[in-house]
Structure formats: C-alpha cells, structure tokens
Amino acid sequence: MKSSPTPPTALKEFRENLRAAPRRIWEAAFRGGKPATDRTRSTFVFGNVFLHLHSVRTHLWSLRWSTTLGLGIASAAAFFITLVTGVLLMFYYKPYPDAAYDSIKDIHFVVPTGRFIRNIHRWAANVMVVAVILHMARVFYTAAYRKPREFNWLIGLGLLVTTLGLSFTGYLLPWDQLAYWAITIGANIAQSPREVTDALRITDWFDPGGFQRLLLLGSDEVGAEALIRFYLLHVMILPLVLTALLAVHIWRVRKDGGLARPADADRRLGPPGEDVYPIFTQAPARTYHLAAIVKGRTPVVGRGPENTVPSMPHLFYAELAVLMLTVFLCLVLSLAWDAPLKELANPAVPENPAKAPWYFLGLQEMVAFSAFVGGIAIPSIVLIGLGLIPFLDREDAGTGGWFGGPGGWPLVRRSILWGLVAAVGIEAFAIHFGWLRQWFPHIPQLIITAVNPGTVLTAVYGLYSLWLVKRYGSARAGALGLFTCFLCGFTVLTIIGTYFRGPNWDFYWSSSQWPSH
Amino acid sequence: MTTQPKSARSRLDPEPLPRRDWLGLASLWAAASAFLFATLGMIRLPKAAVLASPSKRFRIHLPENLQPGQAFVPSGRPVAVFRDESGVWALSTICTHLGCIVKPTPAGFECPCHGSHFAADGSVTRGPAPQPLPWLKVSLSGNSLTVDAGAVVPSGSKVSA
C-alpha cells in the first residue's frame, strides 16, 4: 500500500500556483484585460482610480485641437514636471539662509545633471503660469464657464491663485539678491493695507496688513523663519492644495457632461464615422434612472447616435501627446537658458532695480503708484470679478464656440484696441507728466490711494464694459469686453515693467541706457 | 372613510432624518465646536510670542569729520545718522512703501525700488511712499551714541550732549 495521496497532490498544486503566480499577479492588477473591445476599454477607465477622473467615452468635439488647444493638460503636465524635478532638487536643497544659497550653487555646479534639473524646474514653472492663464482665456472665450460649469470655473480660479502662490514661494528659496528683495517687496505688499489704516489712524487697533506680513515671515524681517515658511508652503502645503483642486477640477469636467460644446456640435461634426461604434444606435426614448442616486436623466436620453469614442485610447493618447510636447518645450528652454542665480542675499543693499517674477511685474508697475491698490485692491477686484462672471452671464448663446456670444470676434477685436490704447495712454501720461504728488506735494495719502493709474485704468475698463452691457443688452458682451481689456492691461503693464523700467523704477527705452553705478 | 397616509413616499426616496434627535444634534455640535477650537489653536501657532530677530539697538562712533547734512550709515544697519550744531539725530532708511533700503543723497533720500524721494527730514516729496521716514531714538553717552532702530520718535527730535 502506498501512503496517503494527499502530500504529492498538495505539493503539485503548490508548484503550479507558484508557476502561475506572476500571471495571476498581473491579472489581479489589470483585472479588465487588454483594452481591445469597447467593453474592456470602458473597464480600463472606470476600473482605475486615477483614469476614472475622466469619463469612459469622450465626445469627438472635445478631441478637436481647436476646442482646447490642449492648454489644460499642458498646465497639468507642467505641474507634473515641476513635481518630479522639485522632488529631485529636494535631495540637495537646505532651507536655511546662506546654506540655501550654497546648496543651489552646489546643484548648479557640482551635482550631476543638477543644473539641468533646476533649469527644467524653473522653465516648467514658467510654462505652467503661461498655460494656466491661456487655459483660463480659452475657457472664457468659448463661454465654457456657463451653467452647469460655474463651480468648476471657481475651482479653476483657485488653481490659478495656487499656481501663482507656488511660483512666488519658490522665488525666495535660492536666497540670492533677486529672491531676497522680491520677497521683501512681496511681504510688504501683504502689509500694505496699512496704507489705508495709517491714513485713517486706526493701525494701532486694526492692523490686518501687519498680521499678514507677520504670518508670512514669522518675524519682522525676511530671515530664517521666512525661508522655512516659504519652503513649507512651496514643497508641501501648496502642492497638496493644488493636487486636490486639480483632481476635483478634472473630475468636475466629467460630472458636468464633458467639455462645453455648441448645441449643434453633432450636426457640425456630421454623422459618426464607420469606425465609431455608437453606444446607442438611435435616440433612446426612455429615461434611465440610476436607482434614485442620480438627479435628472442620463445624458444620452433623447439625443440619439452620439459622436463619442472610447477615452482609451483616443483621449489618453491625445493627452500623452500634449505631455510629450510640454516636456519637449521645457527641455528646449532649459538647454537654451540657465535659471538665474545672483549674488548672495544682502539685506543692506537692495537689488536695483528689484524685480519680481515677470508675471508679477504688471502688479509691480501698479504698486509703483500705490502699494495697497496695485498689490491687494485691484488683484482682489479682478479675482472677485472673474468669480462672478458665470453668475452674471446666465445666457446660452454661443456656448462652446470661440468668441461666442453677442458681439463675437468684432467686439473682442475692438476691445483689444481699446484695452491697449487705454493702458498705454494712461501709462504714457503718468510716465511723462508724473502723478498727483509731483504737482501737489501735500496731497493726502488717501487721495493718492484712490486716484492713481491703476484705479483710473480699472475705472475706464469698467465703464467701457458697462457701456457694452447696455449697447448689446447682454452681460456676456460686457464680460467679453472686460476680460479682453484686462488681458491687454496685464500684457501692457507686464511689458513695461519687464523691459522699460530700470534703476529707481525710472522709465528707459532700453536697458542699454541704464546708468552705470 | 378610508385613511390616507400623510405623504405618499416612494421607497426610493431617502428616509427623512429625525429632527428632534437630541443626542445626535448635541454630539454633532460638540464635534463641530471641538473642531472649531482645535482650528483656533492651530491658527494661533504660526504667530510666535517672541519674534526671532537680531537686536535693533546698537552703539556707534560718529566720524570726527562728519559734515552737517552729510549722512553716516553704519555698516549693515538700515539707519542714517546726522549731526549739526544743534545735535545728533537718526532716520530709518527702510522705505515706507515696500521696505527697500533708501540711499542718502544731497537732497534727502531716494528709493531704488519704486522711485520714492524723501526730503532731508524724511518727508515724502515724490513717488508712492505713503509715510515719511521715521526718526529713531538716539541717546548720547560720552562720544559714543546708541541708536534704537525699533523706537520711533517725533520728527525733528535732535539730541545734544
């Protein structure tokens, strides 16, 4: 008699399981199988926590280059690049005065690939700011912020502010002259509500400006405390906030029914091609409730054959292409231009001229007339105005099309002209003739705070926009004019701040005319 | 006569929450106020009771040949010290606009950052600065003098031995 047959069988099973383990691990990780059919392509998306931020199917209109220009994905891609390069830089960076400067120098001169990584980090940050602003302009000009996408527009504004905050906090970290004085100016802008509270003589009791500055710097000067706070904000708090907002932002696109498209998008696209397999071959007549969890009807009801394709691969490959283009752009810029590093920060000698990062130079231009107005009041007004747009414009003409809405492209063209002329005109006047204090030396500060080129320009743009609302009988027309004007004003002020301001913030036609020390 | 239920409710509609669930509401409010106090405590943390910054009082010796109207700037200090027949005085050189260090000129002071100009007594003559440069407390002991850059005195306060 042989012994019991159990041991050999168990061992055999064990051996077979061991042999099958790699395959089973693979299958457990990729449960849906290869995304080859429409069904497996769907499970590929909704079976994945990251991919299912996107919807399973994408409308063909969303995939046209001219719908988005890929700007949203480019912003996210640039953020992803800064994330990777930023973590690499953290291997060497030490957030302590002077040591910080030395560690950046090490990264620049000693660490293998360090200079290249730092260049990419800096360029990706710049690309991100540009892409975010252009993405906002795209959403605005295609009227894609309208119902039901109002909330996502607000999330987008949050992302814009976080992006600028990330750039600004990163600016201090090298602890060079450029960083030190830009942050000194920035922290004092945070303190600038004192301009008003001082003039009203209430600073001793009510000092929001001083509190903001103290919170930012952790001390009454820019030093070790400020550096560690900016570092914490830059590598931890703001990236977390941005990641969370970004996830909500992308997910809301799906929940709001994909990207905005014109009401007649399906007609303009024509019937779906042979290769597009429609989920419904004809308009479904019935309402599909999802067990009382979801409000309203499913989107396809009553619409009929849809021009949608599976997101895998159509959407994801397009996104991958945008990511590759963004990486390529950052690499080329990094090879061509090194990120700057000036002398070690010296609290006794300001950089002259001390310039903020370029996207803040428009603000700095206004700050050169009144710190509170240029640095806090007008940016707040602009942000509040942007946030209100989808709640004031409740129209539906032109959604999804470029420059859609009453007035259209001719209105935008006229607004560009008006926006440029007004900004250049007011700046030219202020540069040539000076401003109130040169004419009336004893003028009260409150009058200068209330009347300066920044407030005058804002008022001119605001009145123009109100006139448009009246003329076209449409809030959208006013918004088109105002948004265009502010983009123009931002551009003009940024260019003047960048190229035409020299030592003492005096006007120079070119930096070759700057006086030598 | 048949009795109707008060409201015909589909079984798909959610159960209404009992409004008078006292224990439930009390614990909810307790949790909410605990979170509120925890948040207040966390907000308090970033503002230290003592701020880390170097002492703002320092002693200097004025050079013998310092002319009236000529500024003496102790190295590394945002202060300009003057002397004439009527006494000694010091002005802060931190621009009241956005905190750059102003440069003494024959006419007064100039800020390199946004072009504010100040007269010799610190008052604003041009540019965006909202406040005059503050005068600082100076005390004489023998031929050395102590400047306290943290203590502001009224404009025109000169100190003589």
Mention every residue, 6+ apart, whose C-beta is less than 8 A from residue A409: A402, A403
Distance, in angstroms, between A79 CA and closest chain B CA? 28
CB contact at 8 A, A209 and A191: yes
Distance, in angstroms, between B1 CA and closest chain A CA? 34
- Domain total of chain A: 2
Is the same domain home to A325 and A375?
no
- Helical (H) or strand (E) element with B22: helix B22-44
Asked if the structure places residue A517 within a domain, the reply is: no
| Cβ pair B130:A449 closer than 8 A | yes
CB contact at 8 A, A435 and A442: no
Q: Is the pLDDT of residue A6 over 90?
A: no
Of A462, A487, A455, A257, the closest CA to residue A372 belongs to A455
Helices (H), A35-173: 38-46, 60-63, 65-68, 71-90, 99-109, 114-141, 150-172
Structural domain harbouring A250? 49-269+316-351
How confident is the model over A448-504, as pLDDT tens digits? Answer: 888 888 999 999 999 999 999 999 999 999 999 999 999 999 999 999 988 888 887
Q: How confident is the model at residue A291 (pLDDT cuts 50, 70, 90)?
A: very low
Give the residue on A whose Cα is nearest the Cα of B93: A348
The CATH number that applies at residue A197 is 1.20.810.10
This prediction has a pTM of 0.88
| Cβ pair A188:B131 closer than 8 A | no
* Tokens, residue A299: 């989107």
Is the same domain home to A380 and A423?
yes
Is the same domain home to A87 and A236?
yes
A124: number of CA atoms within 13 Å, CB side?
28
How confident is the model over A370-401, as pLDDT tens digits? Answer: 888 888 999 999 999 999 999 999 888 888 88
* Tokens, residue A105: 């120098």
**A352 touches B: beta carbon within 8 Å:** yes
Cα distance between residue B64 and residue B2, in whole Å: 112
Pairing of the two strands B87-92 and B57-61: unpaired
Is the same domain home to A122 and A230?
yes
**A112 touches B: beta carbon within 8 Å:** no
Distance, in angstroms, between B87 CA and closest chain A CA? 26
Instruction: Enumerate the residues of chain B whose CB falls inside 8 A of the CB of residue A373.
Output: none
How confident is the model over A212-271, as pLDDT tens digits? Answer: 888 888 888 888 999 999 999 999 999 999 999 999 999 999 888 888 888 888 888 877
- Helical (H) or strand (E) element with A466: helix A453-472
Asked if the structure places residue A29 within a domain, the reply is: no
CA A318 to chain centre: 20
Q: Is the pLDDT of residue B16 over 70?
A: no
CB contact at 8 A, A451 and A390: no
* Nearest neighbour of A441 by CB, restricted to B47, B99, B125: B125
Asked if the structure places residue A472 within a domain, the reply is: yes
CB contact at 8 A, A374 and A449: no
Cα distance between residue B149 and residue B135, in whole Å: 9
Of A342, A346, A369, A272, the closest CA to residue A59 belongs to A272
Asked if the structure places residue A486 within a domain, the reply is: yes
CB contact at 8 A, A219 and A209: no
Asked if the structure places residue A79 within a domain, the reply is: yes
Instruction: Enumerate the residues of chain B whose CB falls inside 8 A of the CB of residue A201.
Output: none
Question: Residues of chain B with pLDDT > 70: what percent?
Answer: 87
Q: Which domains does chain B have, with CATH numbers?
A: 57-153 (2.102.10.10)
Q: What's the mean per-residue pLDDT of chain B?
A: 83
CB contact at 8 A, A104 and A175: yes
CB contact at 8 A, A330 and A78: yes
Give the residue on A whose Cα is nearest the Cα of B50: A219
